[in-house]
Amino acid sequence: MKRLLKTTFFAALIFMGFAFSPVISTSVVGVYGVCDDNPSNVRLELKSDNTFEYFDNSVTPNVNVTGSWELTKEDVVLLSSNQGATFHKKWKISENREVAKSGKGMTFYTLRKQGE
C-alpha cells in the first residue's frame, strides 16, 4: 500500500511538471517586429508557404522586399525577388522561436514575434 502511494505521488509530480510547462513554438512562421510605437517599423513576416515580406523604414530609401525563405541549420535565409535590394538576408531565430536577430555591417536588429 505504501509503495502504491509513493508511485502515485511521483507519477502525479511528473504529470504536474509537464502540465505547467510553457508552450514553445516549433515554427519560425510568423511576424517579427519592433514595438508598435517605434517609428522605424522594421518588420519581417515569414509565411507558411515559404515566402516573406520585409519592411525597414529606418533607412533611406525605405526597404520593402518580398521573396522566398529557407531554413538552414541555425538561420533563416531570405532570397529576394527584388534585384539589387540591400537588406538583412540572414536571420538567427532563437530556440523558442520568439526572437529574430540579424546584423549587416554596423547595423544590428533584434525583432520579437508579434502576437497572433
Weakest mean pLDDT among 1-10, 26-35, 37-46, 82-91: 1-10
CATH number for 25-113 (one of 1.20.120, 3.80.10, 3.30.70, 2.40.128): it is: 2.40.128
**pLDDT-based confidence at residue 21 (cuts at 50, 70, 90):** very low
CA pair distance 46, 24, nearest whole angstrom: 18
What is the average pLDDT value for the chain, to the nearest integer? 80
Long-range residue pairs from 8-16, CB within 8 A, at least 24 positions apart, any chain: none
Q: What is the DSSP string of 38-64?
A: -TT--EEEE-TTSEEEEEETTSSS-EE
What residue spans define the domains of the chain?
A: 25-113
Question: 40-95, pLDDT tens digit by residue?
Answer: 688 999 999 999 999 888 877 888 899 999 998 879 999 987 777 778 889 999 98
Question: 78-93, pLDDT tens digit by residue?
Answer: 998 777 777 888 999 9
Nearest to 82 by CA among 108, 59, 53, 102: 53
- Does the pTM surpass 0.75? The reply is no
For 17, half-sphere exposure in the C-beta direction (CA atoms, 13 angstrom radius) is: 6
Report in angstroms the alpha-carbon separations of 8 from 14, 16, 17. Answer: 10, 12, 14
